[in-house]
Amino acid sequence: MIDISPLDRTRESALRTLIDDKAKPVGSLGRLEALALQIALIRGEDRPVLGKARSVIFAGDHGITAEGVSSHPPEVTAAMVSNFLAGGATISAFTRIAGAELRVVDAGVASPLPAHPDLTDAKIAPGTRNAAGEPAMTADQCRTALDRGIALARDAVAEGVDILAPGEMGIGNTASASLLVHRLAPAPLGDVVGRGAGLDDEGLARKRAALAKAAARTDTTDPLGVLAEFGGFEIAMMAGFMLGAAAEDRIVIVDGFIAGAAALTACRIAPAARERMVFAHRSAEPGARAILDALDADPLLDLDLRLGEGSGAALAIPLVRAAAAILTDLADYPRGAEG
């Protein structure tokens, strides 16, 4: 599907010395120094100058909402897309603060969406099928979603984007993400199912029952098979987007639970993609811990966020730029010159 090579680490020691030899006490910038090293390795440059940052929100609806797994009706997906494009959503505000572009992709919203200059129509179908009773998508639909995500990442890179921060919108997508994490981490299903956007106890019980029914349909562990069985079009396209960005040696900022499930899927398809990923925050959703453990990831922020939309990824964009600035903007102070 896509070839992603491991990072070339032949200059890792030299890069560590460059970072140590900046005008600051060695190690005084903590994890930002490790992030600076990662950025330099991703970009293959001693002084990586980063271009534009772009938050791309993938939107899609889920057939499994018919099982009562969400506290909101599916129509909210389209309504939130309109809010993103109108500039009134949390991600709209956060991308403005971060100085990033915002784009929205219709990967599979059930309702028709009016044309907008910041909206890309990449719709696979008007929502997935109900994964509690049948595969959420066909194998062809799954591959098409991945391929379209890869193409969107390549287009962004061609437009001068070096920092890609994908996010999502889709009523019912925490159910889909829970199934993906359950099978691909792997992790017990009961440990990765949360309340999503505010389910009460009765709703949580319905969600658990529906996901147990879905998981019992198949025992596949093949990443593409799992994605087709349980994924959403927006999650599949976001996974492809991450793969495409990684193949172009660009920085992928991973948001919370849903984006984390896409990242987990991408890494199971192409393990070397993991090296290009920066994990933004520790989501409050219970399944997020399983993702971080499976990918050996330590996120930059811990703010009890559970909104989605790529909101945590947008907050991490300035930290990525700050880390790169260690190599590009700080004065050199070789330690051998002391004394």
Catalytic residues: 309
Give, to the nearest 10 degrees, the angle between helix 31-43 and helix 12-20: 140
d(CA 224, CA 336): 52
Q: Where is 193: in which H helix or E strand?
A: none
Helices (H), ranges, 49-89 = 75-86
- Residue 330's Cβ-count burial label (10 Å; 0-12, 13-18, 19+) is middle
d(CA 145, CA 150): 9
CB-facing half-sphere around the CA of 37: CA atoms within 13 A: 18
| Block residue for tokens 């956060």 | 94
First to last CA, the chain: 55
d(CA 80, CA 90): 10
The separation between CA 216 and the C-alpha centre of its own chain, rounded to angstroms, equals 27
Taking alpha carbons only, the member of 60, 78, 95, 96 closest to residue 165 is 95
